[in-house]
Amino acid sequence: MQYHQRGFVGGFGETEPVSRIMYASRSLVRGPVYAEMERIRAAAMRHNEPLHVCTALLYQSGWFLQWKEGPPAAVLKIMDRVAADARHASLRIVHSSRGPRLLAGPWSMAIVQCDETPDDMARRVAAVRHRFEEGDQFAPPAVWRQLSTPMRHPGADRQAQPDAFQRVLVCGAAGDAAFDLVKWLGRHYGQEVVHRRFAGPYELDVGTDYTDFEDHGRVMRVIAMARRGLALPLTRAFLPDYSPVVLMLSGDLQRDVALFDRVAEACRQLPAPPRLLGVGLSHDSHLRLNLAANRAGLDYAAAVVDAGGHAACWQAVDSLLAEWESVPQSAAG
């Protein structure tokens, strides 16, 4: 079994690798699932946190997917309790490894709204489980992606690895700039936009949208993330897989710096942080963010174009990706 080990330095101060387990199970919940997940969150905050177990729970198309990390004995103890819960059945392990912590907080949850049936999800669970049993191990974020948000664009078939496509995270300093860009990309390339909801330990409920398309022979996923979504442990676990993280600047220095600070905080302690691209017309903002990035040890590129002009903004991302391809760098992930 082989994959890159990239995790949070420190975590709960442990020096040993933690146990990382993921399982999928069929939901038997009747009625509103989100409310049930909030009840599960309350139990998890009571039981998991004192044992240093962190978890992320997904509900999608009649299935739960749960990712747990923590000291091995504690993870087993919680798993025993959860396995006996009558709100789900047909529990199947899809990942089990020891490694660094990737979830930097006790709780994240996500709901994906799509028109898939439980059978569609069951097929993906069976395929991932089969690979796991064959010893073909993917890192937890990749397993999550394969089950929850697999790349459906036909171009993905040409890639050797099902998970090897370019992912770009977009965050706006003001308004819905990032979501507008993803909407525009979906329309421009004639592709669907998928909506998700995430939440953390304390009520936080944020939206995130993505669209998949092919651009200059590159299969891409562009993900819009709400500003406060950057603080969610699940977002932080996925950050090393995003390149670049695009900051759509507003020209208002205070807002632009506030967005940068959120991104820098999310990248803190990541051994391989993503590279940043600031898009905006304000030279002042670029100057300040460049200095702040230097201090934070982050790689910042500036594109002096109007972030509100979707075509020009996308062109800036595209040019940067082309530049990186011509000069490969290790952090490109």
Ligand X SMILES: Cc1cc2nc3c(=O)[nH]c(=O)nc-3n(C[C@H](O)[C@H](O)[C@H](O)COP(=O)(O)O)c2cc1C
Q: Contact positions toward ligand X, by CB under 6 A?
A: 40, 43-44, 46-48, 55, 57, 64, 66, 78, 81-82, 85, 87-88
Q: How far is CA 323 from CA 43, 218, 283, 284, in A?
A: 48, 14, 22, 24
Q: What does the block give as tokens for 161?
A: 């690895």
89 - beta bridge partners? Answer: 26
| Residue nearer to ligand X on the CB measure, 36 or 163 | 36
**3 state SS for 145-205:** HHHHCCCCCHHHHHCCCCCCCEEEEEEECCCCHHHHHHHHHHHHHCCCEEEEEEECCCCCE
How far is it, in rounded angstroms, from Cα 260 to Cα 292? 8
CB of 62 to ligand X, least distance (A): 12
CB of 99 to ligand X, least distance (A): 19
Count CA atoms within 13 Å of residue 59 on its CB side: 21
CB of 45 to ligand X, least distance (A): 8
89 to 82, 84, 101, 181, 221: CA distances (angstroms): 10, 9, 27, 40, 32
Of 49 and 306, the one with the shorter C-beta distance to ligand X is 49
Kindly tell me which of 48 and 282 has the beta carbon lying closer to ligand X: 48
Q: Smallest distance from the beta carbon of 48 to ligand X, in angstroms?
A: 5
Distance of closest approach, residue 241 Cβ to ligand X, in angstroms: 24
Residue 29 or 316 having the CB closest to ligand X: 29
CA distance 26 to 282: 50
Q: How far is the CB of 84 from ligand X (least distance, A)?
A: 7
Q: CB 28 → ligand X: shortest distance, Å?
A: 8
Shortest Å, Cβ 88 to ligand X: 5
Q: Residue 43 or 291: which CB sits closer to ligand X?
A: 43
Nearest-CA neighbor of 275 among 169, 140, 141? 169
- The residues with which 303 forms a beta bridge, in sequence order, are 279
CB closer to ligand X out of 62 and 162: 62
> Considering beta carbons, is residue 157 or 203 the nearer one to ligand X?
203
Distances (CA, A) of 177 to 170, 181, 243, 249, 309: 9, 6, 19, 9, 10
**Residue 161 CA neighbour count, 13 Å, CB half:** 12
User: How far, in Å, CA of 257 to CA of 76, rounded?
Assistant: 43
Helices 253-267 and 283-296, axial angle in degrees (round to 10): 20
Strand partners, 59: 64, 111
Residue 82 or residue 185: which is nearer to ligand X going by CB?
82
